[in-house]
Chains A and B, each alone.
Chain A
Amino acid sequence: MEELKQQLAEILTPDRKDRSQLIPILQQIQGKLGYLSPEAMLAVAEFVEIPGSTVYGIATFYNQFRFTPLGKHPVKVCMGTACHLAGGKLVLEAMARELDIEVSGITPDHDFSLDRVACIGCCALAPVVVIDDSVYPRMTPPKVEEVLVSVKPASQEQSEKQ
């Protein structure tokens, strides 16, 4: 809790006690923590002086916000029009099967989380998957395992270094 307070202190600065700052504040918190925890939302409610339920209501209205932690490597499968027509759904299913989690879920080791997104503007390269900040173009179910393996060893190396 103390740790959270400290993390939020930088975002919840006195000049932002304004209702129109609510969404930008939530966006910044998510940017920092990867998701909106109940504690964080309550802290924001107290700060902007509106009920916690209102903050929750607003956060759940927008697709951008998530309420479960993000994996070390967030996987986002595009479900926009172009990607759908090029077989994006099969890619999403393959991803879910390979990671053995549901959409919006996270693997037990917290390495991967899986989400769907609507069009990231790379329709010309459909279907696409985004992992970390890299875009993987022209995906197919058989390529899924390959791509995940290429992401994972890198992370293991990193954690070994630490």
Chain B
Amino acid sequence: MTFEEIQKQAKSDWDSLYHGEVPHILIGTATCGRAAGALPVVEAFNKELATRNAQAKVTEVGCIGLCSLEPLVTIIKPGSFTVCYNSVTPQVVSTLVEGYVLGDDPCLELALGTVEGGEGEAVYIPELSKFEHELRLILRNCGYINPGNINHYIVNGGYNGLAKALKMEPMAIIEEVKKSGLRGRGGAGFPTGIKWELCRQASSEIKYVICNADEGDPGAFMDRVVLESDPQQVIEGMIVAGYAVGARDGFIYIRAEYPLAIERLKVALEQAEKLGLLGDSILGSDFSFHIKIAQGAGAFVSGAETALMMAIEGKRSMPRPRPPYPVESGLWGKPTLLNNVKTYAYVPLILSHGAEWFSSMGSEGSKGTAVFALAGKMVNTGLAEVAMGTTLQELIFDIGGGIWGGKQFKAVQIGGPSGGCLPQSMLDTPVDFDSLREAGAIMGSGGVIAMDEGNCMVDAAKFFLDFTQKESCGKCTTCRLGTKQMLDILEDVTAGRGRIEDVDLLVELAEDVRDGSLCGLGRTAPNPVLTTIRYFRDEYEAHILEKRCPALVCKELIAYYILPDKCERGCEHCVLGCPVEAITTNEKGIKVIDQTKCTKCGSCELVCPPEYNAVVRLSPPSLVPSSQVKESDGVIPEEK
């Protein structure tokens, strides 16, 4: 088939669904949708439509980035407007089928809003603050097309870039990528065109192209969403890369924790091969390219390029010194081009729309858009794509909707375990490679985690360091031992055993670890510690000097206490909810916590009915009135 024929066939497939005669129901079933219960909703729709013998089609789509509102269902109705419903449960499915699929009632009380052709008072979704502030390039199809149907991708401009590329000289493609200003989205921001050129110049019969889908940052999920929602763009980008650098084989290295993404990739590869877009003699040309999937086995360091190649070769994935760079000597010693999932995803767009189009977006040194995973204490947790240079303020407040539960913003952690924590005063920092680095954080993987007044910055630093320390492969002494020593100090600080000299010692150790480590893991591991010291030194000091955790998080520095005048007395929630029977009732009927038994699990605070709110945390623990520390006189154990 020629590409034109493929496009034509795709269009008729698409039109029959999206512009057909019968209603079309889109249900988001990416991992986030599934976690929120999307699959039972799909089942309920299928059943309801069957029992009512209703003419309608159901399509499973990916994630549009509103993870906190999943399961999301969109009903496209011929001759009427399109409505999107959030937090759908199987129980409301029959209402929706009866109301809007069969009838004329759009059930707006259940809807998030309308998508096309608004209706009076209903919210018009594209005008929601989130979407107004976003600029969607690689997320444009996510949640809209069926990731399991290549035709949907093709209709929306897919494989145009490849068709165009195959008519170009490889060097011309590389020039175009260079001109676009695209920088790698895997964290370091290396100029993509230059990497491609270096790989092209390496002389070897055999070369490899690898897609890094290891996404090891424990709080980032952009690559997962892209692969689950629109995998073809990544495949297309890899094929173009293979043609440009002169490789015939590609690997996608993907973490095993992403079973759905792996499944969808497999389907996507099969479909591309069937249409002759992948495999031998692509689109009738003399260029052949094959892609295999390699599954990661859960090691953060495997995401580092030289370590990743060791993992594919079946070895312990430890980074090695560079040079030689992978573009000269990579997988099995052959020149290897390695890019992140999103980097490849931009390539087809750059080729079809041109380098100028791409470089017209973004900021001075960082062109195009960036995709972020918004998590933590934000209202709209999920995914967002914004022009490079957008400020953190816009990202967290206009798109993320601000802090959840009316709490106060405290810090944003950006870039994962290699990144940093930035305070309120840094919220006008633009998100691009250079500005973030200056602020002490990094673009990194793209995980953005908001923290509120209830999060302890020392605890957060300890969390990240605990992660990198465990994930250190152990090759470099400074990384292996330095991170351990830093972690020990942080343990001491959070346990109230810290000394004031420890803060400077941490900074000193951090510099040693940074300078003495081979790969990015060690070189960036100190960032969370350094930024929290830089911006939240007062919290370290409170832990050390006052034995107090201002956020009331660090277990050793807090005590749970039941406020006598708030305790309802008759209610037994905390007594029953305490797993270690540390709560008793005194002669006045007031509940009292035996501090010597309390394990600080927090159950009592959670089960105390909100109208009483009698359980509080105190720090330092010495604030608990001394008469209550132990079962003393006057406190009688609860009657059996």
Contact B67 A124 (CB under 8 A): yes
Bound: A117/B220 CA distance, A: 14
Chain A interface size, under 10 / 10 to 19 / 20 to 34 / 35 or more: 35 or more
Whether A118 sits at the interface, judged by CB under 8 Å, is yes
The answer, yes or no, to whether A4 is at the interface (CB within 8 Å) is no
Q: Does B314 contact A (CB under 8 A)?
A: yes
Query: Would you call A108 an interface residue if the criterion is a C-beta within 8 Å of the partner chain's C-beta atoms?
Result: no
Q: With A121-B258, A135-B34 in contact, is A141–B606 under 8 Å at CB?
A: yes
Residues of B within 8 Å of A98, CB to CB, are: 579
Q: B609 at the A/B interface (Cβ < 8 Å)? A: no
B197 → chain A, closest Cβ, in Å? 28
Q: CA–CA, A55 to B387, complex, Å?
A: 46
Q: Which residues does chain A contribute within 8 Å of B294, judged by CB atoms? A: 24
Q: Which residues of B contact A79 (CB under 8 A)?
A: 218
Task: Verify B36–A125 contact, CB threshold 8 A.
Answer: yes
- In the complex, whether B567 has a CB less than 8 A from a CB of chain A is no
**Is A14 located at the chain interface by the 8 A CB criterion?**
no
| Contact present for B297 and A62 (CB under 8 Å) | yes
Cβ-defined contact, A84 with B463, below 8 A = yes
| B35 CB contacts on chain A under 8 angstroms | 122, 125, 128, 135, 137
The verdict on A85 contacting B297 (CB below 8 Å), with A61-B316, A141-B602 known, is no
Docked-complex contact B449 and A85, CB < 8 angstroms: yes
Point out the residue from A21, A81, A125, A141 that lies within 8 Å of B218, measured CB to CB. A81
Is B524 at the interface (CB under 8 A from chain A)? no
B68 within 8 A of A: yes
User: Considering only CB atoms, which chain A residue lies closest to B600 in the complex?
Assistant: A90
A119 to B34 alpha-carbon distance, docked (Å) = 15
Question: Closest Cβ of chain B: how far from A41's Cβ, in Å?
Answer: 14
With the chains together, A21 CA to B294 CA distance in Å? 10
CB-CB under 8 A from B603, the residues of chain A are: 94, 140-142
Please tell me if the beta carbons of B221 and A123 are within 8 angstroms of each other in the complex. yes
Type the 1/0 row for B272-312, where 1 means its CB is closer than 8 Å to any CB of A.
Answer: 00000000000000000000001111111010000000011
Residues of B within 8 A of A20 (CB): 312-314
Say if the beta carbon of A12 comes within 8 Å of chain B.
no
Shortest B72–chain A CB gap in Å is 12
Is there a chain B Cβ closer than 8 Å to A82's Cβ? yes
Contact A23 B314 (CB under 8 A): yes
CA distance A152 to B464 in the complex (A): 34
Residues of B within 8 A of A94 (CB): 579, 601, 603
Q: Given that A123-B219, A123-B373 are contacting pairs, would A87 and B299 also be in contact in the complex, using a CB cutoff of 8 Å?
A: no
Q: Are B256 and A123 in contact (CB under 8 A)?
A: no
Give, as a whole number of angstroms, the nearest-CB distance from B57 to chain A: 27
Please measure, in the bound complex, the distance between the C-alpha atom of A49 and the C-alpha atom of B101, giving whole angstroms. Answer: 61
- Residue from the list B70, B295, B599 in contact with A24, Cβ < 8 A: B295
A87–B456 alpha-carbon span in the complex (Å): 12
Of B154-162, B234-242, B374-382, B584-592, which binds chain A? B374-382
Nearest CB of B to A47, in Å: 13
Chain A 83-123 interface 0/1 with B at a Cβ cutoff of 8 Å (1 = within): 01111001001100110000000000000000001111111
Q: Which of B31, B298, B382, B467 contacts A62 (CB 8 A)?
A: B298
A80 and B32 contact, Cβ closer than 8 Å, known pairs A90-B602, A93-B601, A124-B68: no
Q: Quick check: is A22 within 8 A (CB to CB) of the other chain? A: yes
Select which of B221, B302, B455 is within 8 A of A121 by beta carbon.
B221
Do A142 and B607 touch (CB < 8 A)?
Answer: yes
Which of A26, A85, A117 lies in contact with B455, CB distance below 8 A? A85
Taking the nearest CB of chain A, how far is it from the CB of B442, in angstroms?
15
Interface centre among A20, A64, A122, A128 (most CB of B within 10 A): A122
**CB pairs A–B below 8 angstroms (9 shown):** A24-B295, A58-B316, A61-B299, A62-B298, A85-B376, A93-B599, A121-B221, A123-B376, A125-B67
Given pairs A120-B257, A121-B225, A125-B67, 5 additional interface contacts (CB within 8 A): A61-B299, A79-B218, A117-B257, A121-B258, A141-B603
| B residues at A contact (CB < 8 Å) | 31-32, 34-36, 67-68, 70, 216-221, 224-225, 256-258, 294-300, 302, 311-317, 373, 375-377, 381-382, 413, 416, 447, 449, 451, 455, 460, 463-464, 467, 473, 577, 579, 599, 601-603, 606-607
